[in-house]
Each structure stands twice: as C-alpha cells, then as structure tokens.
Homo-oligomer: A and B are copies of this chain.
C-alpha cells in the first residue's frame, strides 16, 4: 500500500499511468513523451512495476508496458473505505 502511494506521488509517474490508460506502450514510446532521459523513465517504470501498478512483457527488442488495474482497484477501495459516514466505527 505504501509503495502504491509513493509510486503515485510523482507527476511523471501519474502521467505515465494516464498514457497507459489509453493503450499499451513500449518503454521508448513512453520516454518519447517526456523531456527527461530514458534511464530516468526506465527508473520510473521500475517504480511503478514494483508497486504492481503496471506490467511489462518483452516483445522482441521492445518491452511493452500495460496498466494493471488490480492495485488501482485496491487503492480505490481504500478511498471508498474512507468515505463511510464520518465517525463510522461500525456500531451497526
């Protein structure tokens, strides 16, 4: 959970996630959309992958990244849990 929030606490990484929401992309395609170096993007991708937010699969020379909705759903659940009646401590 902490890895997830830490991964999301960076604007570049959130943008990457937004890009992957549209369609799967190779590391290079992702890097092309930013003005920072490829190694930096690679590092961000590794952070996102480590948090379980994205998956990767090699296809020839390319590595294709895709969103993994599982962790996003879990995190959404955290917020939903937050939205119960304020002060709700489960007394019926």
A43 shortest CB reach to chain B, Å: 17
A67 CB contact (under 8 Å) in B8, B17, B86, B89 = B86
Within 8 A of B (CB), among A65-92: 67, 69, 72-73, 75-76, 79-80, 82-84, 86-89
Taking Cβ atoms with an 8 Å cutoff, the residues of A that contact B are: 2, 5-6, 8-11, 14, 17, 21-23, 67, 69, 72-73, 75-76, 79-80, 82-84, 86-89
A-B contact pairs, 12 of them (CB 8 A): A2-B9, A5-B8, A5-B9, A6-B9, A9-B9, A21-B82, A21-B86, A22-B89, A69-B83, A72-B79, A72-B82, A76-B80
